[in-house]
């Protein structure tokens, strides 16, 4: 099936300015500059585009809120921090389709009336940074951004900001802090960036993949876009598969595609011919699904109904012969080390959970230990400035429910049931 972002399959090299132009690139922008910004917001809303960074917030709504905020100037931020372990989609887009991403950014800036856009890109992505830098030079000499773009009166400056490589640095308010020259610490919300964002002004922070969807939507229309996906999750999404499958990589699929298709047809199944013990549709922060749910559709509603989430599409498989307690320790250690440390509740929760799991691993605390996980999570629910505090809960609670035998073996014998 043809894709939205990868119409000719996953690109293997960098698409240059001329190649992009030859397949219709920048036509969406040329068309848009002849219309009013509100039309862009309308078409993106009609298309049902939702953010691809993990939260799935409607993009048209975010842009409308930003545009309607009274303060000036306004800013658009392309969020390419991409620090979810295993996520590769933004990197592929930035490296190989820099003009698609850039055109989406310029369209977004036009829609919200931003005079400056920041491209926030993972500092470790050397090739992506170079690719985007070159694209900026090409687009500028062609007059696609700068002063009075295409004679429309629209002015836009664009600046690249390298993103520090820690997990919370991808949270939208932490992104804003970094661009302001501060530490990557999330801010308390509200106020939301759409009203009080970068330098205190209205700001729309959009994921790379989200913005890459905008040129095809504007060029080909909302009805065309809605041919892909489901009513509530329109379009396609790029999923990242890693070393736990036979064919790791990125795969663009329409929302609503069964999870089984991604794992078996795209990924070539789990590595080593093992049976699947659990599936994590949005690693590392979603609930585990049991293998019976492999036919769940890859869209926001279906995943929620199945008890998990879609996140930013990093699908992880746990094979038979893997102890879930050991898997959880890796996850809990990750969140404990990535907690930025400014919110006491998050610090306490993430460090306690990691320590408790290590006690379970060592066979200490007995079965009453299992009850403590839910209590710690419930106590800290809703606390903390950002969502990190809510992330260790779904994997831990789902694992306790789905794989009690693994916990029991550790707690009663002090030995791992597998290793």
Partner 1 sequence: MARICLVCQNIDCKSRGSEQLTTELQQKIAAKGIADVEVKPYMCFGACQEGPNIVLYPEKSWYAKVQPRDLDDIVEHLAGGPHVQRLDTIDSSLKELIYQLLDTGVF
Site residues for partner 1, window 376-395 (CB under 8 A)? 376, 379-380
Distance between alpha carbon 158 and the CA centroid of its chain, in Å? 22
CA distance 123 to 17: 23
d(CA 363, CA 139) in angstroms, rounded, equals 60
Work out which of 347, 387, 390, 402 binds partner 1, going by CB under 8 A. Answer: 347
Tokens of 149: 């773009």
**Rounded CA gap, 199 and 318, in Å?**
43
Q: Which is nearer to partner 1, 90 or 349 (CB)?
A: 349
Stretch that binds partner 1, among 38-46, 53-61, 196-204, 363-371 (CB under 8 A): 363-371
User: Does the bond joining 325 to the residue before it have cis omega, within 30 degrees of 0?
Assistant: no
Nearest distance, CB of residue 338 and partner 1, angstroms = 15
By C-beta, is 253 or 354 nearer to partner 1?
354
Question: How far is the C-alpha of 113 from the C-alpha of 371, rounded, in Å?
Answer: 51
Which one of residues 10, 345, 402, 416 is an interface residue with partner 1 (CB under 8 A)?
Answer: 345
Does 375 interact with partner 1 (rule: CB under 8 A)?
Answer: yes
The site that binds partner 1 (CB under 8 A) totals a number of residues, namely 21
Give me the numbers of helices (H) and strands (E) for the chain, helices first please: 18, 8
Q: According to CB under 8 A, which one of 45, 166, 322, 351 is a site residue for partner 1?
A: 351
CA angle 271, 277, 279 (to 5 degrees): 80
- In the bound complex, what is the minimum distance in angstroms from residue 343's beta carbon to partner 1? 9
CB of 349 to partner 1, least distance (A): 8
Q: Assess contact for 328 and 399: CB atoms under 8 A.
A: yes
Determine which residue in the list 272, 344, 374, 414 makes contact with partner 1, applying CB under 8 A: 344
Q: How far is the CB of 173 from partner 1 (least distance, A)?
A: 20
Q: What is the DSSP letter of 188?
A: P
Interface characters, 55-74, with partner 1 (x: CB under 8 A) = --------------------
* Structural tokens at position 148: 């009075």
Minimum CB distance to partner 1 smaller for 378 or for 418: 378
Select the residue interacting with partner 1 from 90, 338, 349, 406 (CB under 8 A). 349
Q: What's the Cα-to-Cα distance from 86 to each of 89, 91, 238, 312, 336, rounded to whole Å?
A: 9, 11, 13, 10, 18
Among 165, 246, 359, 416, binds partner 1 (CB under 8 A): 359
Question: Checking DSSP bridges between strand 276-280 and strand 203-207, what pairing results, if any?
Answer: unpaired
> Where does this chain touch partner 1 (CB under 8 A) — which range of 157-165, 205-213, 321-329, 362-370?
362-370
On the 0-12 / 13-18 / 19+ scale of CB atoms within 10 A, 268 is middle
Q: How far is the CB of 351 from partner 1 (least distance, A)?
A: 5
Q: Which residues pair with 120 in a beta bridge?
A: 79, 161
CA–CA separation, 280 and 124 (whole Å): 26
Of the candidates 7, 221, 272, 366, which one interacts with partner 1 according to CB under 8 A? 366
- Closest of 312, 337, 317 to residue 388, by C-alpha: 337
Task: Assess 361 for contact with partner 1 (CB under 8 A).
Answer: no
User: Is 207 near partner 1 (CB under 8 A)?
Assistant: no
CA distance 2 to 60: 24
Of 151, 153, 368, 382, the residue at the interface with partner 1 (CB under 8 A) is 368
x/- string (CB under 8 A) for partner 1, residues 83-102? --------------------
Binding positions for partner 1, rule: CB under 8 A: 341, 344-345, 347-349, 351-352, 355-356, 359, 364-366, 368-369, 372, 375-376, 379-380
């Amino acid at each position: 099936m043809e894709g939205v972002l990868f119409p000719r399959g996953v690109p293997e090299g960098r698409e240059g300015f001329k190649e992009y132009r030859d397949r219709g690139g920048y036509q969406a922008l040329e068309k848009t500059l002849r219309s009013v910004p509100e039309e862009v917001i309308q078409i993106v809303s009609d298309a049902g585009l939702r953010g691809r960074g993990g939260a799935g917030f409607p993009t048209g709504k975010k842009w409308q809120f930003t545009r309607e905020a009274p303060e000036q100037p306004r800013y658009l931020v392309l969020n390419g921090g991409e620090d979810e372990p295993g996520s590769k989609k933004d990197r592929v887009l930035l490296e190989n389709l820099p003009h698609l991403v850039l055109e989406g950014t310029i369209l977004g800036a036009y829609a919200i009336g931003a005079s400056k856009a920041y491209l926030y890109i993972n500092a470790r992505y050397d090739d992506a940074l170079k690719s985007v830098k070159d694209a900026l030079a090409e687009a500028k000499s062609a007059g696609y951004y700068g002063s009075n773009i295409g004679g429309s009166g629209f002015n836009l400056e664009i600046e690249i900001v390298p993103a520090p490589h820690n997990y919370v640095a991808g949270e939208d308010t932490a992104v804003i802090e970094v661009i302001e020259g501060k530490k990557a610490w999330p801010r308390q919300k509200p106020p939301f960036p759409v009203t009080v964002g970068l330098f205190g002004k209205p700001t729309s922070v959009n994921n790379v993949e989200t913005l890459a969807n905008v040129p095809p939507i504007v060029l080909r229309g909302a009805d065309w876009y809605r041919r892909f996906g489901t009513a509530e999750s329109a379009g396609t999404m790029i999923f990242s598969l890693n070393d736990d499958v036979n064919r790791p990589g990125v795969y663009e699929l329409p929302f609503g595609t069964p999870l089984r298709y991604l794992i078996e047809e795209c990924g070539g199944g789990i590595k080593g011919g093992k049976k699947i013990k659990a599936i994590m549709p949005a690693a590392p922060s979603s609930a585990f699904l049991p293998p019976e749910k492999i036919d769940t559709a890859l869209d926001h509603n279906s995943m929620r109904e199945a008890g998990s989430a879609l996140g930013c599409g990093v699908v992880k498989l746990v094979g038979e012969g893997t102890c879930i307690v050991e898997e959880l320790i890796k996850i809990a250690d990750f969140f404990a080390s990535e907690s930025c440390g400014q919110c006491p509740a998050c610090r306490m929760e993430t460090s306690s959970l990691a320590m408790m799991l290590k006690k379970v691993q060592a066979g200490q605390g007995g079965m009453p230990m299992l009850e403590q996980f839910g209590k710690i999570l419930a106590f800290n629910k809703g606390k903390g400035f950002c969502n990190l505090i809510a992330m260790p809960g779904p994997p831990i609670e789902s694992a306790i429910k789905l794989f009690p035998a693994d916990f029991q073996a550790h707690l009663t014998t002090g030995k791992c049931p597998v290793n």
